[in-house]
């Protein structure tokens, strides 16, 4: 049965999807996009790769502020995913492992359940969170004799809309210890968009291009105050400042950082955006959201606060097993800075160890694959028979 299980890590930015017997998931943008160059056509998921000109791309997102609210868009994306163009199989009479946000609203959970059983005719579903799947994969990956029942760890999920800190003690989520920061990849892209538009050139409509700039040039400064001295020292400025060549969508589809002294043939005619302190002030928001008026603590303080809600006997193991997943975990310098700040906040006699997998974006999906192929998977599935007997309310009462 395991080969027929579909695993869908349904994120706000991308959906990671595949069959449980596959090695790798497909990563599909979880939105519908419209381009100025092709007004009559809507691009769903990976169809955006067919678009010649992605300037001023307009996004219609399924998730609003981190929760699945736009069901028409979500159905359009799922129809694409479960077609021949997507993963090449439908959901008919298959079990599905699907993720939802932490502390999801009951009304959203019920709507998802209804859609999967009524419109996609699934045989059964197992609903969980990305943090739970990441924890399950962490156990599967660990070389020590750790089991899910003995696992003590903290999952930091730096997502698109939110950052969640989720502690696990003896394999169970400590609900009182879950912390959410309203800061993620989307807010960082929007802030960079505002900075470039204010200082250089109006890019308020260019979310797609600015997101690529963020991925290509941003990094986390280990010492923010020291890094801000780039404006006092010419030598430091040269180390940080870069020129980013914007795409023209004819010869260049994705922008790149210009290499000093080695110009390309056509660079004189290209639009160039000079970037300096934007490179590290944007990711700094993960550590200081108050920089843009969000009155919340950063990730290190949230981790220290989450510890207070956990039994003191577990603190040592929790700090030794901090797993970081999500797209923003890929910023260069993120781990050293988080470790340095966290070290200053927790007791000196406790060691701090951070683990960031090679692929933090797909990590939860691999956990879903482990769940779907585990021997007792059938016990967790909410089947069609359960749905027909208990309806949408039965799942939350299990």
> Is 208 in the same domain as 279?
yes
Query: Of the residues 266, 284, 302, which one is the last residue of a structural domain?
Result: 284
> Is 250 in the same domain as 269?
yes
Per-residue model confidence as pLDDT tens digits over 5-21 = 999 999 999 999 999 88
Q: Are 199 and 184 in contact (CB under 8 A)?
A: no
Query: Of the residues 238, 258, 284, which one is the last residue of a structural domain?
Result: 284
Q: Pick the residue with more confidence: 240 or 156?
A: 156
pLDDT for 1: 45
Q: Looking at the domain assignment, is residue 161 inside a domain?
A: yes
Cα separation values, 286 from 17, 185, 275, 303, Å: 27, 9, 20, 13
Cα separation values, 87 from 22, 27, 43, Å: 11, 10, 17
Interatomic CA distance for residues 347 and 209, integer angstroms:
43
> Is 179 in the same domain as 298?
yes
CA atoms within 13 Å, Cβ hemisphere of 13: 18
Domains in the chain, number: 3
> Is 314 in the same domain as 327?
yes
CATH number of the domain where residue 246 is located: 3.90.640.10
Per-residue model confidence as pLDDT tens digits over 355-367 = 889 999 999 999 9
Give the mean pLDDT of 82-99.
88
Is pLDDT of 166 > 90?
yes
Q: Looking at the domain assignment, is residue 196 inside a domain?
A: yes
Per-residue model confidence as pLDDT tens digits over 123-138 = 889 999 999 999 989 9
At 291, is the pLDDT very low, low, confident or very high (cuts 50, 70, 90)? confident
DSSP annotation of 122: -
Q: Looking at the domain assignment, is residue 289 inside a domain?
A: no
Q: Pick the residue with more confidence: 77 or 85?
A: 77
Is pLDDT of 3 > 80?
no
pLDDT for 89: 85
Is pLDDT of 282 > 70?
yes
pLDDT for 211: 92
**Beta-strand runs (E) in 4-122:** 6-10, 14-19, 26-29, 31-34, 42-44, 58-61, 63-64, 67-68, 95-100
Task: Indicate the length of the chain as a whole number.
Answer: 398
Q: Looking at the domain assignment, is residue 1 inside a domain?
A: no
> Is 189 in the same domain as 167?
no
Is pLDDT of 378 > 60?
yes
Per-residue model confidence as pLDDT tens digits over 23-75 = 899 999 999 998 887 878 888 888 888 888 888 888 889 998 889 999 999 99
Is pLDDT of 116 > 80?
yes
> Is 153 in the same domain as 239?
no
Q: Looking at the domain assignment, is residue 66 inside a domain?
A: yes
> Is 277 in the same domain as 300?
no
Whole-angstrom distance between the N-terminal and C-terminal Cα of the chain? 23
Q: Which residues of 122-159 are buried (b: 16+ CB within 10 A; e: fewer)?
A: bbbbbbbbbbbbbbbbbbbeeeeebebeebbbbbbbbb
Q: What integer best gives the mean pLDDT of the chain? A: 87
Q: Pick the residue with more confidence: 268 or 112?
A: 112
Q: Are β-strands 153-158 and 322-325 bridged in parallel, bridged antiparallel, or unpaired? A: parallel
pLDDT for 342: 93
Give the mean pLDDT of 247-257.
82
Is pLDDT of 321 > 50?
yes
> Is 22 in the same domain as 125?
yes
At 294, is the pLDDT very low, low, confident or very high (cuts 50, 70, 90)? confident
> Is 34 in the same domain as 44?
yes
The whole domain housing 210 covers 185-284
CATH number of the domain where residue 175 is located: 3.30.420.40
């Amino acid at each position: 049965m395991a080969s027929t299980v579909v695993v869908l890590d349904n994120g706000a930015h991308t959906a990671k999807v595949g069959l449980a017997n596959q090695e790798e998931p497909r990563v599909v943008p979880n939105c519908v996009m419209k381009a100025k160059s092709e007004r009559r056509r809507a691009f769903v998921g990976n169809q955006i790769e067919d678009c010649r000109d992605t300037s001023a791309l307009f996004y219609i997102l399924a998730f609003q502020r981190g929760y699945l609210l736009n069901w028409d868009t979500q159905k359009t994306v799922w129809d694409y995913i479960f077609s021949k163009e997507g993963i090449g199989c439908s959901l008919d009479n298959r079990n599905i492992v699907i993720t939802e946000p932490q502390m999801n609203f009951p009304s959203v959970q019920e709507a998802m359940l209804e859609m999967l059983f009524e419109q996609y005719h699934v045989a059964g579903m197992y609903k969980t969170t990305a943090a739970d799947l990441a924890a399950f994969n962490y156990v599967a990956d660990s070389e020590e004799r750790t089991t899910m029942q003995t696992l003590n760890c903290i999952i930091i999920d730096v997502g698109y809309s939110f950052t969640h800190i989720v502690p696990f003690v003896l394999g169970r989520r400590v609900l009182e210890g879950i912390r959410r920061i309203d800061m993620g990849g989307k807010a960082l892209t929007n802030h960079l968009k505002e900075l470039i538009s204010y200082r250089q050139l109006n890019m308020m409509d260019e979310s797609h291009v600015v997101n690529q700039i963020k991925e290509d040039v941003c990094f986390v400064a280990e010492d923010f105050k020291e890094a801000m001295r780039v404006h006092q020292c010419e030598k430091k400025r040269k180390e940080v400042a870069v020129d980013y060549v914007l795409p023209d969508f004819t010869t260049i589809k994705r922008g790149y950082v210009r290499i000093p002294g080695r110009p390309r043939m056509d660079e004189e005619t290209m639009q160039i955006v000079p970037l300096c302190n934007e490179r590290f002030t944007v990711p700094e928001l993960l550590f200081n959201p108050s920089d843009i008026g969000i009155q919340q603590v950063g990730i290190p303080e949230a981790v220290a606060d989450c510890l207070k809600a956990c039994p003191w006997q577990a603190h040592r193991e929790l700090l030794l097993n901090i797993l970081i997943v999500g797209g923003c975990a890929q910023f260069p310098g993120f781990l050293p800075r988080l470790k340095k700040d966290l070290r200053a906040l927790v007791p000196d006699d406790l060691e701090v160890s951070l683990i960031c997998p090679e692929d933090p974006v797909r990590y939860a999906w691999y956990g879903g694959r482990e769940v779907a192929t585990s021997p007792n998977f059938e016990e967790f599935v909410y089947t069609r028979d359960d749905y027909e007997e208990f309806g949408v309310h039965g799942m939350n009462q299990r």
